[in-house]
């Protein structure tokens, strides 16, 4: 996936009604949020006390917590929003 800033194209798309949904949260806000909680090691501290039935963690708990926070940052319930993160182009929509 490739992103390119093109203000003229975006404005034309708005005027043409090409958007079905617009998310009010920008990637800059989310990036700033995660930068702060990473710098302060908040996820590491939370992961230490996060309840988990597993004895072994191949994926650190903070990864699950960060993905859950990211989806909630966009107003999505983590189970229902999973396809937004796990979309595979070969499988289509």
Q: What is the count of structural domains for the chain?
A: 1
pTM: 0.43
5 within some domain: no
Query: Residues 22, 11: contact at Cβ < 8 Å?
Result: no
Establish if 60 belongs to a structural domain: yes
Q: Which residues of 5-30 are buried (b: 16+ CB within 10 A; e: fewer)?
A: eeeeeeeeeeeeeeeeeeeeeeeeee
CA distance 35 to 41: 10
Measure Cα distances from 76 to 27, 59, 65, 70 in Å: 15, 22, 14, 9
Alpha carbon 50 to its chain centroid, in Å, reads: 20
Structural domain of 64: 23-91
pLDDT tens digits, 9-49: 888 888 888 877 766 555 567 778 888 888 888 888 888 87
């Amino acid at each position: 996936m490739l992103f390119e800033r093109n203000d003229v194209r975006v404005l034309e798309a708005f005027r043409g009604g090409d958007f079905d949904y617009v998310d009010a949260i920008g990637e800059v806000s989310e990036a700033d949020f995660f930068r702060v909680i990473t710098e302060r090691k908040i996820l590491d501290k939370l992961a230490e006390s996060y309840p988990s039935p597993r004895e072994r963690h191949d994926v650190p708990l903070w990864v699950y917590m960060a993905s859950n926070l990211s989806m909630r940052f966009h107003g999505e319930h983590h189970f229902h929003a999973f396809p937004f993160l796990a979309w595979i182009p070969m499988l289509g929509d």
